[in-house]
Structure formats: C-alpha cells, structure tokens
C-alpha cells in the first residue's frame, strides 16, 4: 500500500517486531523509520535495515537520518558506509571517518541532499572542510575536473570565485545546488557570457544548449538572453511550457 | 481599458496557443483586448498562462465589474493563484459552502495565503455550516492551522485530529500549541502507553506540560532534537537532567550542538554541573553543586 509517512511511522514499530527480512519492506513502510524502534535492533539488523533504505530509495527526514547515522556509529558500523544512502552519510560523526577511506566517503556523501543540513550548520561546514582536506584541495579556488567530480554538491557552499577559477566541469556541480547565492549568480553569468567552453558564445546557443543548462538557465541575466537567437529562445520556452504543463503556477512563473 | 486593442480581440481560439501571451505584450493591450464575457467563459484557461502580476490585476478588476456582489462559488473554484489578489474584506463577500471550493482555494500550487485572508476564508466556510474535519485539516496543514483564531481552533473535534495527517504546528504561538495539544492528547489517549503513541502525539508536543513530558521520558521515545527545541520553554525548565536523558535517548549528543539555543541555555543554568556531567556530552554552565561530590540523590537527601 502507498502508506503516508504518518501512517508508516505508526506501523513501523509493529512491523519491525514481526520480521527481520527487510527486503520485504516497501519504501512506503521504510519512510516511517522510528528512532526508538530502530534503537532496539541488533547491529546486523540495523545494518540491513539501513541498506534496504538505500536499495528502496526510501525518503527519510533529517531527524530520521540523524538517528540512523548515530545508531550505526554506536554499533561501530560506519566502516561499511558504501552500503548506506548518501543522505545518511551527511549525518555521520565525521571524526570517525579515517584517512584511508576519506575520498570514497566524501564523494559518496557529496551525492546526498545537502539541503537536509541547515545552511551554515556545524555539520555542513565540517563536511566541506574535511572533503577539501581529504582531496588535497586546501584553500585553492581553482578546482580541477577530478576534484569537482568528487565534490558534487559540496561546491554549492564554496566561495563564488570557484565558479570562474575552476575547470568548466564546475557548471555540472552548480546544477546540484538547491539555490544559488547572488554572488554565485553573478559569477555564473560572468562565466557564461565569457564564451568559454563548454557552452561558448551565447550567440551560438540553441534551445538544446539552454536545455542542457538545466536549472542554471533560470539564472541567466537579460544581457545574455538578448544575445541568444530569438527563434531558439521561443523554441526553448515552448519546450519549457510543455515540460511544465500541469506544473504549479509558481514554477511556471520562474 | 485606456488604449485601443491592436493585436485583435482575445477569443476562445486564441487561448488554445499555450504562449498566446507573446501577442499581448503589455497589461494595457491585455486589458484592451480582453472582453469580460470571454473572461467569464475562459477563466480557467486564461489562468493556465504564466501571467505577470499586472495582468492579474486587470483580470481581477474585470471580475469585480462582472460580479459586483462577490465572485460566485463556481467561479471561486477556478480562481487559482488569482484568489491571492483578494484581501480579507473582499473575501467576506464570498460564499464558500463546499469543501471542494475550499480545497481549490487552498491548493498550495497556487501560492501561499497570508493570515488575515486565510482566517476570513475559513470563517466563510464555517459560517456556511462547514466543519474543520480531518480532510480540511489536511488541506490547511500546520502553517495555516496556526493562522486560525483560537475560537476557530476550539471548534476542532479531537476525532478530526485523530484522522488527520501529520500537522507541523511549530510556527503556532504558544497559546494555540496548547489548544492543539489538548485536542491531540484527547484524540490519541486510547493509544497512550503503546508503541505508536509517540509518533502520533509528537507533532503536538510543543503544547505539552512538564508532567506529560516526564511521563514520556520514562518510555524511551528517543525524541529528535528539533522536537525537543520546539517544546514549551517554560515546561522545559521544569525537567530534570534524568528527564532530558530519558526524552532524548540515543539523540542526547545532539543537545551539545543546541546548548546555545535560549531554552536549552536557560535549562542548563538551572541544573547542577555535577548532574550535567553525568550526561557525558560536555555541557557546561550549570550551577556549582552545594556538596563537593554532590549528585542529585545526595542533593535530595541534603534538602
């Protein structure tokens, strides 16, 4: 059944007490993860439960993820972090991430939904600092392609100067950001208007270039829009209008 | 309209082009070319267009001219985000007799309501005999529930809360949290003491008394830190170190990260440092204990 998260939360304790074959549990049930019920599981049961959350791509809240991460750490289960959803890794106690595995850990964690952690929170700040130290980036704002491919959404919290100083791959990282700051939007427009790869001069863009920009297209300023061929712009808006058909007014307005 | 229509009148067939708005590229032209009868007949289609605000102002003025005594209920359902152009006074002239109309007007896709117009909207629904049943509570959600007046909240039947989805009331003022907690604890009292009870009552704990929180502390609920920080600050001050350990359980270490929150800082200042040390999470700022090796039991014996 497509249980709501509220219903699943009520069922969760009873379900855990009736089975420990968690592959039977749907994502609808798993989204009901309750800290007090999971706290009663053995290490093996807990590990396979969190693994199932990953397999079924169940959606957990920040409170549930934080509890799961703490229970795994309490059971010393954080070593096999590759089995767990990236969102859980965002909440891991970072002092227990050892140097040998840090690259693997932080590139997996960077695939998590960073907006689960409050902007400027201690955990979010330490995640970025540790990841940069782990990949040997230090304070540099000129990130190479291989760095960027590992850092994922962590780049969203970096200084806007990274956008113009780094490899063009940085635009793929920016697409992961829930929101861009004003300084990041200015830096993005500076980079796009410069005509450098991968998109080159706006005059050469067509509607598939705009589509490839994904969410970044909504940050383009007026002077860049005016350099884009008129028909390509209208074609882009028509494809957008179809793509957003049935979407909310707020999204259409953007 | 203040200018001549140059791009040809807007008709039902013009509206079939999803981007017809490109032809009417100013609110003045939109006003000049839009006939009120076309608006009456194609309100929903028009509102599917990504219309800028000044176009909506034109549409609202024409609707006011069409319906001087208030928009009829069948058209209210089609208003969508245009409904947010109406203030509380104008909404007072609406007839909202069915929950379908209220549902259409509360659709989150069409933008957010401010408190005053939202309160008036719900008042119109209740005045027409509507009740705040659980589907309506689900529609309102936590934020809008907090906009309602205390008199409106008092009318909620506990049964409606029992069957409603999770309602986040964290944005409510304390007095409203207390009312809603009272309703919720009545609604879920049959489940008290069973494992689902905590997940049912948790959204409403912002209105819980210290006495009820102490009861919860004895049933290993592993409260998350956000719920803890949303407890009534005055009731929180009455909790002991053992109560807090019992409430937070496995999430206790999160208290260290929240020690500067006003309610937590105030609570820490009221505890003996020796008691805080038993939590072993590095909390500081407690009162010096009266006895060199005092623990809470000794303190009890001493008093």
Q: Compute the distance between CA of residue A228 and CA of residue A226 in angstroms, rounded to an integer.
A: 5
Q: What is the DSSP letter of B57?
A: H
Over the stretch B30-70, which tens digit does the pLDDT of each residue have?
A: 999 999 999 999 998 888 887 888 999 999 999 999 999 99
Q: Which two tokens stand for residue A187?
A: 């830096």
Q: In chain B, what residues touch A238 (CB-CB under 8 Å)?
A: 18-19
CA distances from B130 to B90, B122, B133 (A): 20, 9, 9
User: Does the distance separating the beta carbons of A67 and B222 come in below 8 Å?
Assistant: yes
| Least CB–CB distance from A67: residue in B108, B110, B224 | B224
Average pLDDT over residues B21-34: 88
Find the residue in B nearest to A243 (Cα): B18
- Give CA angle at A9 (A8, A14), nearest 5°: 85
3-state SS assignment for residue B287:
strand
Q: Which of B45, B162, B195 is the best substitution to test chain A (most A C-beta atoms within 10 A)? A: B195
Over the stretch B172-213, which tens digit does the pLDDT of each residue have?
A: 999 999 999 999 999 999 999 888 899 999 999 999 999 999
User: Does the distance separating the beta carbons of B109 and A36 come in below 8 Å?
Assistant: no
pLDDT at A98: 82
User: Does the distance separating the beta carbons of B226 and A62 come in below 8 Å?
Assistant: yes
| Least CB–CB distance from B19: residue in A4, A35, A237 | A237
Average pLDDT value over all residues in chain A: 91
| Size (chain B), residues | 303
**Cis ω for the linkage preceding B120 (within 30 of 0):** no
Q: In chain B, what residues touch A248 (CB-CB under 8 Å)?
A: 108-110
Q: In chain B, what residues touch A36 (CB-CB under 8 Å)?
A: 195, 198, 220-222, 249
pLDDT classification of B303: cutoffs 50, 70, 90? very low
Q: Compute the distance between CA of residue B132 and CA of residue B203 in angstroms, rounded to an integer.
A: 18
Find the residue in B nearest to A249 (Cα): B110
pLDDT at B297: 53
| Least CB–CB distance from A253: residue in B50, B165, B222 | B50
pLDDT classification of A88: cutoffs 50, 70, 90? very high
Q: Which two tokens stand for residue B292?
A: 């060199």
User: Does the distance separating the beta carbons of A70 and B251 come in below 8 Å?
Assistant: yes
pLDDT greater than 80 at residue B19: no
Over the stretch B262-300, which tens digit does the pLDDT of each residue have?
A: 999 999 999 999 999 999 999 999 999 876 655 555 444
pLDDT greater than 70 at residue B302: no
Q: CB-hemisphere CA count at 13 Å for B85?
A: 19
User: Does the distance separating the beta carbons of A245 and B257 come in below 8 Å?
Assistant: no
Over the stretch B103-137, which tens digit does the pLDDT of each residue have?
A: 999 988 888 899 999 999 999 999 999 999 998 99
pLDDT at B194: 87
Tell me if A110 sits within 8 A of A152, measured CB to CB: yes
pLDDT at B77: 95
Q: Does A233 touch chain B (CB under 8 A)?
A: no
Tell me if B203 sits within 8 A of B178, measured CB to CB: no
CB < 8 Å from B in window 90-149 of A = 122
pLDDT greater than 90 at residue B232: yes
pLDDT at B20: 78
| Least CB–CB distance from A35: residue in B110, B196, B222 | B222
pLDDT at B206: 97
| Least CB–CB distance from A35: residue in B18, B226, B251 | B251
Residue for token pair 């920040």: A62
How many A/B residue pairs have CB atoms within 8 Å?
82
Q: What is the CA radius of gyration of chain B?
A: 27
pLDDT at B16: 80
Average pLDDT over residues A96-115: 90
pLDDT classification of A48: cutoffs 50, 70, 90? very high
User: Does the distance separating the beta carbons of A5 and B250 come in below 8 Å?
Assistant: no
Q: Strands (DSSP E) along chain B, which ranges?
A: none
Q: In chain B, what residues touch A249 (CB-CB under 8 Å)?
A: 47, 50, 80-81, 109-111
- Cα-Cα-Cα-Cα torsion A7, A11, A15, A16, nearest 10 degrees, comes to 100
Find the residue in A nearest to B257 (Cα): A122
ipTM (interface predicted TM)? 0.75
pLDDT classification of A253: cutoffs 50, 70, 90? low
Q: What is the DSSP letter of A116?
A: G
pLDDT at B193: 87
Q: A74-79: list long-range contacts, CB under 8 Å, 24+ apart.
A: A74/B250, A75/A43, A75/A46, A75/A47, A76/A43, A77/A43, A77/A46, A77/A47
Over the stretch A18-42, which tens digit does the pLDDT of each residue have?
A: 998 999 999 999 999 999 999 999 9
User: Does the distance separating the beta carbons of A4 and B80 come in below 8 Å?
Assistant: no
Average pLDDT value over all residues in chain B: 91
| Least CB–CB distance from A13: residue in B110, B111, B196 | B196
Q: Compute the distance between CA of residue A112 and CA of residue A128 in angstroms, rounded to an integer.
A: 13
Find the residue in B nearest to A75 (Cα): B250
Q: Which two tokens stand for residue B241?
A: 């170190």
User: Does the distance separating the beta carbons of B110 and A248 come in below 8 Å?
Assistant: yes
Tell me if A46 sits within 8 A of A67, measured CB to CB: no
Q: Which residues of B touch A (CB under 8 A)?
A: 18-19, 22, 47, 50, 80-81, 108-111, 165-166, 195-196, 198-200, 220-222, 224-227, 249-251, 253-254, 257
Q: Does A253 touch chain B (CB under 8 A)?
A: yes
Distance in Å, alpha carbon of B242 to nearest chain A alpha carbon: 17
User: Does the distance separating the beta carbons of A4 and B250 come in below 8 Å?
Assistant: no
User: Does the distance separating the beta carbons of B199 and A12 come in below 8 Å?
Assistant: yes
Average pLDDT over residues A10-16: 93
Q: Compute the distance between CA of residue A30 and CA of residue A77 in angstroms, rounded to an integer.
A: 20
Q: A107-113: list long-range contacts, CB under 8 Å, 24+ apart.
A: A107/A149, A107/A150, A107/A151, A107/A152, A108/A81, A108/A82, A110/A86, A110/A150, A110/A151, A110/A152, A110/A153, A110/A154, A111/A86, A111/A152, A111/A153, A112/A85, A112/A86, A112/A87, A112/A88, A112/A153, A113/A87, A113/A153
Q: Which of A236, A249, A253 is the best substitution to test chain B (most B C-beta atoms within 10 A)? A: A249
């Amino acid at each position: 059944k497509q249980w709501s998260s509220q219903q699943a939360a009520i069922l969760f304790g009873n379900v855990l007490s009736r089975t420990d074959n968690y592959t039977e549990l749907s994502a609808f049930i798993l989204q009901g993860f309750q800290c007090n019920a999971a706290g009663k599981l053995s290490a093996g049961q807990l590990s396979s439960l969190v693994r199932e959350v990953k397999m079924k791509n169940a959606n957990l809240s920040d409170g549930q993820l934080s509890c799961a991460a703490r229970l795994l750490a309490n059971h010393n289960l954080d070593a096999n972090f590759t089995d767990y959803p990236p969102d859980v890794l965002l909440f891991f106690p970072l002092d227990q991430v050892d140097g040998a595995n840090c690259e693997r850990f932080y590139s997996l964690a960077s695939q998590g939904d960073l907006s689960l952690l409050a902007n400027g929170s201690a955990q979010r700040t330490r995640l970025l600092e540790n990841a940069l130290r782990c990949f040997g980036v230090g304070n540099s704002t000129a990130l190479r392609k291989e760095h960027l491919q590992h850092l994922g959404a962590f780049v969203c919290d970096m200084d806007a100067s990274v956008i113009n100083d780094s490899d063009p791959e940085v635009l793929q990282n920016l697409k992961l950001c829930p929101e861009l700051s004003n300084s990041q939007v200015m830096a993005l427009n500076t980079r796009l208007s410069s005509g450098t790869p991968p998109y080159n001069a706006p005059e050469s863009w067509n509607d598939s270039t705009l589509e490839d920009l994904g969410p970044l297209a909504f940050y383009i300023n007026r002077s860049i829009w005016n350099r884009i061929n008129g028909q390509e712009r209208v074609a882009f808006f028509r494809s957008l209008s179809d793509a957003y058909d049935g979407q909310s007014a707020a999204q259409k307005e953007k | 309209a203040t200018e001549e229509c140059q791009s040809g009148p807007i008709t039902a067939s013009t509206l079939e082009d999803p981007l017809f708005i490109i032809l009417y590229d100013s609110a003045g032209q939109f006003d000049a070319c839009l006939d009120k009868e076309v608006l009456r007949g194609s309100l929903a289609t028009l509102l599917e267009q990504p219309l800028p605000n000044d176009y909506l102002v034109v549409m609202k003025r024409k609707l006011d001219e069409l319906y001087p005594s208030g928009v009829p209920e069948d058209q209210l359902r089609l208003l969508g985000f245009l409904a947010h152009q109406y203030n509380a006074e104008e909404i007072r002239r609406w007839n909202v007799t069915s929950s379908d109309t209220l549902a259409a007007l509360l659709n989150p896709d069409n933008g957010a309501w401010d408190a005053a117009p939202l309160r008036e909207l719900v008042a119109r629904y209740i005045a027409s005999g509507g009740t705040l049943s659980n589907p309506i509570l689900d529609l309102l959600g936590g934020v809008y529930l907090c906009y309602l007046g205390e008199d409106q909240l008092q009318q909620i039947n506990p049964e409606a809360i029992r069957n409603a989805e999770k309602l986040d009331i964290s944005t409510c003022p304390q007095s409203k949290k207390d009312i809603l907690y009272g309703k919720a604890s009545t609604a879920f009292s049959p489940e008290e003491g069973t494992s689902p009870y905590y997940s049912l009552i948790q959204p409403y704990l912002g209105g819980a008394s210290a006495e009820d929180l102490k009861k919860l502390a004895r049933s290993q609920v592993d409260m998350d830190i956000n719920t803890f920080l949303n407890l009534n600050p005055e009731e929180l001050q009455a909790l002991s170190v053992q109560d807090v350990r019992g409430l937070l359980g496995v999430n206790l270490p999160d208290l260290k990260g929240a020690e500067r929150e006003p309610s937590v800082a105030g609570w820490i200042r009221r505890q003996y440092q020796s008691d805080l040390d038993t939590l072993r999470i590095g909390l500081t700022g407690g009162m010096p204990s009266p006895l060199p090796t005092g623990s809470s039991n000794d303190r009890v014996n001493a008093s």
